Amino acid sequence: MRIATFNINGVKARIETVLGWLDEAAPDVALLQEIKSTDDTFPREPFEERGYNVETHGQKGFNGVAILSRRPIEDVTRGLPGDDADEQARWIEATVTGNRRTVRLCCLYLPNGNPAPGPKYDYKLAWMARLETRARDLLAAEDPAVMAGDYNVIPQDEDCARPEAWRSDALALPDTRAAFRRIVNLGFTEAFRARVQGPGHYSFWDYQAGAWNRNDGIRIDHMLLTPQAADLMTDCHIEAEIRGRDKPSDHVPVWVTLDA
């Protein structure tokens, strides 16, 4: 099962970019973030024409997550548990069955948190605490599960080209990194770092100041695997080259392959 997570930065603004990527890369499952579309206005047809089932959790103009799968999508839930008053569309999860195993797929768009300190940063940390609770439940189920998406977390200095530029940013503050580590240390495998070590690997390059051409990037798109999913992993990589194509997102896909 080839799974990609991709913050597309607007499905309507980048529909041709995303469809071209799907035609070329052909993931079994695509977990999309920042679709910036309500459920009823999401352009389902071109995805369905390509053989994908579509489930979304969206809102107008902001946020929004989606699951595309060539296989049936079952047991769909929307919204991260723990705060019934939270109206931001940042979490969708569902079950997809491969040739051998069933996998629980959680697609997330974690809050940015800037400016920090402030209410937006408080919301980020509270959201991460809720994520930790959900992560514990996924581990307790002892099934293959993947929590993937735009985490808006730079885990370590080696995950950004210029660490000094991010010292006071919500993506790299000590409390952010500590919250991320608490989740990983529950027993998850951070898929990319399990396969690739060292600096210079990024999943986001800003549109400004020639960041892509200078490789001034950060790694903020992650896949966390339960032990049962990690046992099935055969590959994980970042598809960096598509950042240089026409009308790109500022993020690129991150891939994991499971023998499922």
Give the residue ranges of the annotated binding site: 7, 34, 150, 152, 250-251
State how far the Cα of 260 lies from the Cα of 258, in Å rounded to an integer: 5
Binding-site residue positions for Mg(2+) = 7, 34, 150, 152, 250-251
State how far the Cα of 207 lies from the Cα of 101, in Å rounded to an integer: 39
Q: What residue type is 24 in one-letter code?
A: E
6 in Cβ contact with 14 (< 8 Å):
no
As given in the structure block, the two tokens for residue 4 are 């990609």
User: At residue 193, what are phi and psi to the nearest 5 degrees?
Assistant: -70, -15
As given in the structure block, the two tokens for residue 172 are 């790299």
13 in Cβ contact with 38 (< 8 Å):
no
For tokens 């080209």, name the residue.
Answer: 161
DSSP 120-148: HHHHHHHHHHHHHHHHHHHHHHTS-EEEE
List residues with catalytic annotation. 109, 150, 251
User: Where on the phi/psi map is residue 15: left (φ > 0), alpha (ψ -120 to 50), or beta?
Assistant: alpha
Q: Which of 47, 99, 80 is nearest to 147 (CA)?
A: 80
